[in-house]
Amino acid sequence: MSRQDADAGPHRSDSWGAGQGRRAMLLAGATVAAGLAMPDEAAAQARPAAGGGMPVTHYRTASIDGVEVFYREAGPADAPVVLLLHGFPTSSHMFRNLIPALADRWRVIAPDYPGYGQSGMPDRGRFVYTFDRFGEIVGGLLDRLGVRRCVMYVMDYGAPVGWRLALARPDRVAGLIVQNGNAYDEGLREFWDPIKAYWADGSVERRNALRGLVTLETTKFQYTDGVRDLSRISPDNWVHDQALLDRPGNADIQLDLLYDYRTNLPLYPKVQAWFRERRPPTLIMWGGNDKIFPAEGAHPYRRDLPDAEVHLLDTGHFALEDKLDVMVPLIRNFLAHKAAPR
């Protein structure tokens, strides 16, 4: 895969053969709204069943270790579980369109981490904002909901949260959907240089230099950079996210987490060993134009997961906002035929 591949068209898969690639193109051209007919049984599995109505999403809260954790849930209670783990600076809001596209056949759960979305935002003096703590909170929620096995969709910050869940309970993970979520040193490039400088000394000066990352300009950038057609991106995204970032005290929570992100790098060898040992079925869908987690972070997964299905999409960081019509058929096909959450 290369940036040229990413720019060549709507998306490219390097895991299917030529004949299968033609079918992938058919899937990529399908839209959930249009409900276009597809030629074979596998393609039929890749879209919601007709006539079933729109699945209902429920908005719930659970107290986990004294923190009010908000989560979205949809789908049959006894269905295989898909866990959706969001990125920065958003929340489960990023999955609002994906959830009903999956919930006819799968139980979909999408939590907000503490300090994000509609979850509680405990004071930094009594709650330590780290990825370890987020993993514990989400794991506690899964235990509360009786989830013993699931497919994890990890994006951005969702990756280090998900990796901790996987290392703590390897048998819980039935498969992976990775979307611009890093597990390799190669994936942290120029964008991360000022953050790495903060990791190096933890100084107030370096910390304050990163405050631009929680401004409206940067939030909007994350949604629009690398997108060919900006009319596909709802401005509600950055308005929603920025309102939550602008809450008193939230900027310092985000800076705490940026500093804690350094703890993910020593974890990568353990995560990669887990990939090799467990070989979870894996679907990688990556916004190839992303400057935060660039395409260089997608390639190395194939070293440890040679059977992974990989698609570089011609879009940016928040790929679901631009390429939902491409991604839903790929996800549904993967869940139906390659991952076994039960």
Element (H, E) at 236: helix 236-245
DSSP-assigned states of every residue in 61-72: EEEETTEEEEEE
Choice among 240, 299, 317, 337 that is catalytic: 317
* Catalytic status, residue 11: no
Written as six digits, the tokens of 312 are 């570089």
DSSP-assigned states of every residue in 270-332: HHHHHHHHH---EEEEEETT-SSS-GGGTTTHHHH-TT-EEEEESS-S-HHHHHHHHHHHHHH
φ, ψ (nearest 5 deg) of residue 13: -110, 130
DSSP-assigned states of every residue in 193-227: HHHHHHHHH--HHHHHHTGGGGSHHHHHHHHHTT-
Written as six digits, the tokens of 219 are 């939030």
50-59: long-range pairs with CB below 8 Å, 24+: 52/104, 54/100, 55/99, 55/100, 55/103, 55/104, 57/96, 57/99, 57/100, 57/103, 59/118
Q: Is 73 helix (H, G, I), strand (E, B) or coil?
A: strand
DSSP state of 339: -
Task: Judge contact between 332 and 45, C-beta under 8 A.
Answer: yes
Task: Judge contact between 285 and 200, C-beta under 8 A.
Answer: no
Residues tagged active-site = 317
